């Protein structure tokens, strides 16, 4: 069979049911094979949209997302989604076309060294040199993308090799001698960590997206509820522990709750699970959790002690380690009353510093209220994708996520333009679930062309646009730290979003009245197809509380 037909067979063998892409000259043979492959291919309007859609699919389903592009500019348009997938550990396979092998290195038309360009931002990359290696490369790419710490893998296929005739035999058991992720964790270290936790008087569970990736939320809850351990989550960890649970302190970090950040600041032991001590979490690193010992569980050994030295490092998969941790802990018969004063301290912070805002006394819509209205209209059961900026932080603060894989955002790279295509990918992977996209007027314009993809494919994403006419987060920083000099952050009121959505064939409505907002959002949800609500919110609202950049958690403002 043709190599591209073997490529399709390998993708189907890996369970691919949908992929996102854009054709061009160098991957024409691949698209010819797609014609008969029986795999749902969604034609995006920009390769970056396809890359982020693959991320949204992967984050919401736990399966590997696939995106295709042609050579040169098509491939380089995938650089941002690849970097984004690397930062957030998203299992993805990117398949790019390449110029013919006789043109490699000649600056041929649409030639770009995409494997070289993306070398620092992929988990692995494969440049095809022999057409017989194409199916093997696909099987290896999926194996690497979804095992160990998940991440993006690039497969680059020269056009002439994709047309060759080859034999194909599926590979069920990929073996890569140089790639052997550790899953189980060291038994002695787990025992030591359990003893440390049993002796701690002020412990905090610090949970990251690694718990979501490992599908270890149930195991986390089992351990946290053995005794009443306080739990906080990173931005990417939201949903790993149920938000309504009384042991949950809220999100921590730059725009986290004071209770979560103060608890980390005064903790004597921090149990970090699948989290990487990002600077948005630690603030001023030299003053981060000054009295704590650190137990760090992570499947990626490179993360252990990268930013914060771990007293007890445990390398492995949270889903395998946490049940053994629980077993070791239960055997210790610890004294839960030792945490009485700690919980009194935490409850004091919760009571004194609740997550709140000053709502309007008229019909003006505050952005925080808008997120609460989205929660009410969706009954808290939607998959929520967001873009990046103030609306992202308000969504993280005020939409209580009860389960993992309900929150899809660009946490590490902070990529504007992520939300709309990611929501599209999430909807494609979860056709029975309600998917909403909370975006800002700056972010949505970054990949606005994907409105056409939604309309053409009748993908029923509901876009709730938080429109304040500003690049809000940059404006906030200019207000607070640059003497209010608003340099190039005013977006005005353009475009007319209702007319724009209508031009794409999408139902849309503008809302300016707080009293009507929930009803309008429900109207959009009940519409059979994609919909957009342009919500006009307070122009100069700030996201609080906040740890100013470079300062410690105890220096929170707002």
| pLDDT for residue 405 is more than 90 | yes
Q: Can you tell me the mean pLDDT for 216-228?
A: 97
3-class secondary-structure state, position 217: helix
| pLDDT for residue 386 is more than 90 | yes
Convert 310-321 to b/e letters by CB count within 10 Å (16 or more is b). bbbbbbbbbbbb
pLDDT of residue 327: 97
Q: Can you tell me the mean pLDDT for 33-50?
A: 97
CB atoms within 10 A of CB 501: 25
Whose CA is closest to 47, among 82, 15, 14, 13? Answer: 82
Q: DSSP secondary-structure letter at 357?
A: -
CA gap 14, 144 in Å, rounded: 12
Q: Can you tell me the mean pLDDT for 349-374?
A: 96
pLDDT of residue 418: 98
pLDDT of residue 494: 86
| 98-132 pLDDT per residue, tens | 999 999 999 999 999 999 999 999 999 999 999 99
Q: Can you tell me the mean pLDDT for 295-302?
A: 97
CA gap 385, 373 in Å, rounded: 16
By the 8 A CB rule, do 79 and 14 touch?
no
| 502-554 pLDDT per residue, tens | 999 999 999 999 999 999 999 999 999 999 999 999 999 999 999 988 888 88
CB atoms within 10 A of CB 198: 18
Mean pLDDT taken over the chain: 96
3-class secondary-structure state, position 155: strand
3-class secondary-structure state, position 177: coil
CA gap 545, 255 in Å, rounded: 6
| pLDDT for residue 89 is more than 90 | yes
- Percent of the chain scoring above 70 in pLDDT: 100
Query: Quick check: pTM over 0.95?
Result: yes
| 477-500 pLDDT per residue, tens | 999 999 999 999 999 888 999 999
| 52-66 pLDDT per residue, tens | 999 999 999 999 999
Q: Can you tell me the mean pLDDT for 355-370?
A: 96
The dihedral built from the CA positions of residue 310, 316, 319 and 325, taken in this order, carries a sign that is negative
pLDDT of residue 549: 81
CA gap 328, 331 in Å, rounded: 5
- Report strand pairing: 124-127 vs 203-207: unpaired
CA gap 494, 502 in Å, rounded: 15
By the 8 A CB rule, do 7 and 156 touch?
no
By the 8 A CB rule, do 326 and 226 touch?
yes
| 431-449 pLDDT per residue, tens | 999 999 999 999 999 999 9
| pLDDT for residue 333 is more than 90 | no
pLDDT of residue 383: 98
pLDDT of residue 274: 97
- Percent of the chain scoring above 90 in pLDDT: 96
pLDDT of residue 172: 83
| 451-471 pLDDT per residue, tens | 999 999 999 999 999 999 999
CA gap 133, 171 in Å, rounded: 12
Whole-Å CA distances, 128 to 120, 134, 169, 345, 526:
19, 7, 18, 59, 47
Listing from the earlier edge strand, what are the strands of the sheet with 293-298?
A: 248-251, 231-233, 203-207, 269-273, 293-298, 312-315
Give the angle subtended at the CA of 303 by the CAs of 302 and 307, to the nearest 5°: 120
3-class secondary-structure state, position 231: strand
Q: Can you tell me the mean pLDDT for 354-361?
A: 94
Whole-Å CA distances, 419 to 89, 416, 465, 504:
17, 8, 11, 18
CA gap 289, 310 in Å, rounded: 12
pLDDT of residue 121: 98
Helix or strand run (H / E) with residue 41:
strand 40-43
């Amino acid at each position: 069979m043709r190599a591209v037909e073997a490529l399709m067979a390998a993708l189907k063998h890996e369970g691919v049911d949908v992929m996102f892409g854009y054709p061009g000259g160098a991957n024409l043979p691949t698209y010819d094979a797609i014609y008969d492959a029986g795999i749902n291919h969604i034609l995006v309007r920009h390769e970056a949209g396809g890359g982020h859609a693959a991320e949204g699919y992967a984050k919401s389903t736990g399966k590997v997302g696939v995106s295709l592009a042609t050579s040169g500019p098509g491939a380089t348009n995938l650089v941002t989604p690849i970097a984004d997938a690397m930062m957030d550990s998203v299992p993805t396979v990117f398949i790019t076309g390449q110029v013919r092998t006789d043109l490699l290195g000649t600056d041929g038309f649409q030639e770009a060294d995409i494997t070289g360009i993306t070398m620092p931002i992929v988990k692995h990359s494969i440049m095809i040199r022999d057409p017989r290696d194409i199916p093997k490369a696909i099987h290896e790419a999926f194996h690497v993308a979804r095992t160990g710490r998940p991440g993006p893998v690039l497969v680059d296929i020269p056009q002439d090799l994709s047309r060759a005739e080859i034999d194909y035999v599926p590979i069920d058991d990929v073996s890569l001698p140089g790639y052997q992720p550790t899953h189980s964790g060291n038994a002695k270290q787990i025992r030591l960590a359990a003893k440390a936790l049993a002796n701690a008087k002020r412990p905090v569970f610090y949970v990251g997206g690694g718990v979501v990736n490992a599908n270890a939320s149930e195991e986390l809850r089992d351990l946290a509820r053995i005794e009443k351990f306080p739990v906080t989550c990173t931005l990417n960890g939201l949903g790993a522990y149920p938000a309504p649970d009384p042991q949950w302190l809220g999100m921590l970090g730059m725009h986290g709750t004071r209770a979560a950040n103060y608890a980390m600041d005064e903790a004597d032991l921090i149990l970090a699970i699948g989290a990487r001590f990002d600077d948005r979490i630690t603030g001023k690193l030299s003053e981060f959790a000054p009295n704590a010992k650190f137990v760090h569980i992570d499947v990626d050994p490179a993360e252990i002690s990268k930013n914060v030295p771990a007293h007890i490092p445990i390398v492995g998969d949270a889903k395998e380690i946490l049940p053994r941790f629980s077993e070791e802990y239960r055997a210790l018969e610890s004294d839960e009353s030792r945490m009485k004063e700690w919980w009194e301290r935490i409850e004091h912070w919760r009571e004194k510093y609740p997550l709140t805002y000053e709502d309007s006394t008229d019909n003006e819509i505050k952005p925080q209220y808008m997120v609460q209205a989205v929660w009410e209209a969706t009954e808290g059961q939607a998959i929520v994708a967001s873009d990046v900026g103030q609306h992202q932080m308000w969504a993280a603060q005020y939409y209580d996520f009860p389960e993992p894989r309900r929150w899809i955002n660009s946490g590490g790279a902070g990529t504007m333009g992520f939300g709309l295509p990611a929501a599209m990918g999430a909807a494609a992977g979860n056709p029975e679930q309600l998917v909403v996209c909370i975006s800002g007027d700056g972010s949505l314009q970054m990949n606005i062309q994907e409105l056409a993809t939604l309309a053409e494919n009748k993908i029923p994403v509901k876009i709730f646009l938080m429109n304040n006419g500003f690049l809000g987060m940059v404006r906030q920083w200019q207000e607070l730290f640059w003497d209010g000099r608003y340099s190039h952050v005013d977006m005005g009121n353009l475009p007319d979003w209702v007319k724009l959505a209508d031009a794409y064939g999408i139902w849309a409505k503008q809302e300016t009245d707080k009293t009507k907002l929930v009803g309008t959002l429900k109207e959009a949800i009940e519409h059979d197809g994609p919909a957009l609500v342009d919500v006009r919110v307070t122009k100069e609202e700030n996201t609080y509380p906040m740890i100013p950049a470079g300062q410690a958690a105890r220096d929170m403002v707002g």
